[in-house]
Amino acid sequence: MLNQENLERENLAKDMLDYAKECVLMEFPFFTNAMYQMKLKKMTKNKSSIVESMGICDDSLCYDTQSVPELYGKNANYLTQIYLHALLHFCFRHDLLVPEVTALKGNAKRYYSLAADIAVTALIQQLDRERFRIPADAARDEVLKDIESKVPFCSAQYVMEELIKRDLSETKLGEYEILFPMDDHRFWTCNAKRDQERKKLTKTLKTDLDTFSKKNKNKGLFLALKEAVAEPVDYASFLRRFACAQEQMHINDEEFDLGYYLYGLQLNEKIPLVEPLEYAEQYRIKDFVIAIDTSGSTAGYLVQAFLDKTFTILQAQNSYTKQMRIHIIQCDDRIQSDTVIHNKEEMEKYVARLNIKGFGATDFKPVFQYVEELRQQQKLRDLRGLIYFTDGRGSYPATQPNYETAFVFIDDEESAKLVPPWAVGISLPANKLREG
Q: Is the pLDDT of residue 250 over 60?
A: no
pLDDT of residue 281: 46
pLDDT of residue 178: 92
Same domain for 275 and 306? no
Rounded to an integer, what distance in angstroms lies between the CA atom of residue 361 and that of residue 349?
A: 28
pLDDT of residue 271: 62
Between residues 249 and 352, which one has the greater pLDDT? 352
pLDDT of residue 367: 95
> What DSSP character marks residue 369?
H
Backbone angles phi, psi at 161, to 5 degrees: -60, -40
Residue range 155-184: mean pLDDT, rounded: 90
SS3 409: strand
Q: Is the pLDDT of residue 118 over 60?
A: yes
Residue range 192-201: mean pLDDT, rounded: 86
Same domain for 350 and 323? yes
Between residues 241 and 394, which one has the greater pLDDT? 394
Give the DSSP H or E segment for 6.
helix 2-27
Residue range 62-84: mean pLDDT, rounded: 87
pLDDT of residue 70: 85
Same domain for 255 and 339? no
Same domain for 165 and 276? no
Same domain for 141 and 20? yes
Rounded to an integer, what distance in angstroms lies between the CA atom of residue 423 and that of residue 405?
A: 5
pLDDT of residue 331: 92
CA of residue 330 relative to chain centroid, distance? 27
Same domain for 222 and 271? no
User: What domain range is 418 assigned to?
Assistant: 235-242+283-435
Same domain for 35 and 175? yes
Share of the chain above pLDDT 70, in %: 77
pLDDT of residue 114: 94
> Across the chain, what does the average pLDDT equal?
80
Best mean pLDDT range from 122-136, 182-196, 226-240: 182-196
189 pLDDT band, cuts 50/70/90, is confident
Same domain for 112 and 259? no
* 392-435 pLDDT tens trace: 778 888 888 988 898 988 877 778 878 887 888 888 876 666 55
Same domain for 349 and 374? yes
Same domain for 206 and 57? yes
- Supply the CATH number for residue 318's domain: 3.40.50.410
Q: Is the pLDDT of residue 66 over 70?
A: yes
pTM for this one?
0.64
| Domains in the chain, number | 3
* 299-354 pLDDT tens trace: 677 788 888 888 877 766 555 555 678 899 999 889 999 999 888 788 888 888 88
Strand order in 325-331's β-sheet?
Answer: 335-341, 325-331, 287-293, 383-389, 404-410, 424-428
Q: Is the pLDDT of residue 116 over 90?
A: yes
> What DSSP character marks residue 334?
S
180 pLDDT band, cuts 50/70/90, is very high
pLDDT of residue 179: 93
CA angle 359, 365, 366 (to 5 degrees): 65
109 pLDDT band, cuts 50/70/90, is confident
* 345-402 pLDDT tens trace: 888 888 888 888 888 888 999 999 999 999 999 888 888 789 999 877 788 888 889 8
155 pLDDT band, cuts 50/70/90, is confident
Which of 158-167, 192-201, 272-281 has the lowest average pLDDT? 272-281
> What DSSP character marks residue 418?
T
Nearest to 118 by CA among 92, 100, 80, 79: 92
Rounded to an integer, what distance in angstroms lies between the CA atom of residue 174 and that of residue 402?
A: 49
Length of the chain: 436
Backbone angles phi, psi at 47, to 5 degrees: -80, 150
Rounded to an integer, what distance in angstroms lies between the CA atom of residue 227 and that of residue 219?
A: 12
Residue range 178-203: mean pLDDT, rounded: 87
Question: Are the CB atoms for 228 and 92 separated by under 8 Å?
Answer: yes
Between residues 261 and 356, which one has the greater pLDDT? 356
pLDDT of residue 245: 41
266 pLDDT band, cuts 50/70/90, is low
Same domain for 291 and 172? no
42 pLDDT band, cuts 50/70/90, is confident
Same domain for 301 and 353? yes
